[in-house]
Amino acid sequence: MKILVTGAKGQLGYDVMRVLKEHNIDYLGTDIEQLDITKENDVFDYVKKYQPSVIIHCAAYTAVDKAEENQELCYKINVLGTRYLVKSAQAIDAKFVYISTDYVFNGEGQIPFTIHDKPEPVNYYGKTKYLGELEVLNNLSKSYIIRISWVFGINGHNFIKTMLKLSETRDILTVVSDQIGSPTYTLDLAYAIYDLINSDAYGIHHITNEGYCSWNEFAKEIFRQSNKNIIVNDILTKDYPTAAKRPLNSRMEKNSIKLRPWQEALDHFLKEYNHD
């Protein structure tokens, strides 16, 4: 098995490579320095030369608010970049893993979204990720679309690191309390991806850590586990305007692989983070 990983510098790409290394898998990690996925000929040549049996596509434009003003770049990376990788996978008959998001849904109601629910993104980032899904679904049979949410990993920026940084200078924080979802630990996710690519369970999967919470509850649990006495006040989404609209309901029903509760994953993350 030879695996090409895009977005190697990101939170998930980093952990995917950790897991592949642990299993002694032959892999190649790329980021924009090695491969610009928006250049069709470069993508085709790179994939043809390496001849991977699996492409795990973690690269994406994920700056949700900036996507509203940088729509052309967001589209190039999330849609065209995916299209070129899909075409390349098609040419060499490689399996393909596409990382998608809870943001493909409209975020209405309180019931967890299933893999059968119709995507209806409310912001441009979500729209491009859904269009990326369609590139995969319409062109590859041996593919896995994995929708994830609220990711955190040891490499790169995330909500946990932001909260801990803020707590160094502030005793009181205000965090949104009406957006509900599942925090997802990229290391747990990487193990799940490894299991998937060794199966023929093709199609759409919702994979997040077990349990749901608001960002506000997430912040409180971060400080509780970190033994930090920080007051976390509530604020509603409507009172905290952002450039991109955020879905209030990011609950997703898990249809396949079950991960441990998010609180346990947080504990594991914090131990590694503090150890470093």
Res 255: pLDDT: 83
Task: Determine how β-strand 151-152 pairs with β-strand 184-185.
Answer: parallel
Residue 204: CA count within 13 A, CB half-sphere = 22
Res 230: pLDDT: 97
Res 276: pLDDT: 65
Per-domain residue ranges of the chain: 2-158+182-209+251-259
> What is the model's pTM?
0.96
How far apart are the two ends of the chain, measured CA to CA in Å? 32
Residues acting as catalytic residues: 125
Q: Which helix (H) or strand (E) holds 30?
A: strand 26-30
Res 275: pLDDT: 84
Q: Which helix (H) or strand (E) holds 6?
A: strand 2-6
CB 183 within 8 A of CB 176: no
Output the six-digit token pair for 131: 């269009």
Res 256: pLDDT: 81
Model pLDDT for residues 249-263, shown as the tens digit of each residue:
999 999 889 999 999
Given a cut of 50, the residues of the chain with pLDDT beneath it are none
Cα 14 to chain centroid distance, Å, stands at 12
Over its C-alpha atoms, the chain yields an Rg (Å, rounded) of 18
Superfamily, domain 2-158+182-209+251-259: NAD(P)-binding Rossmann-like Domain (3.40.50.720)
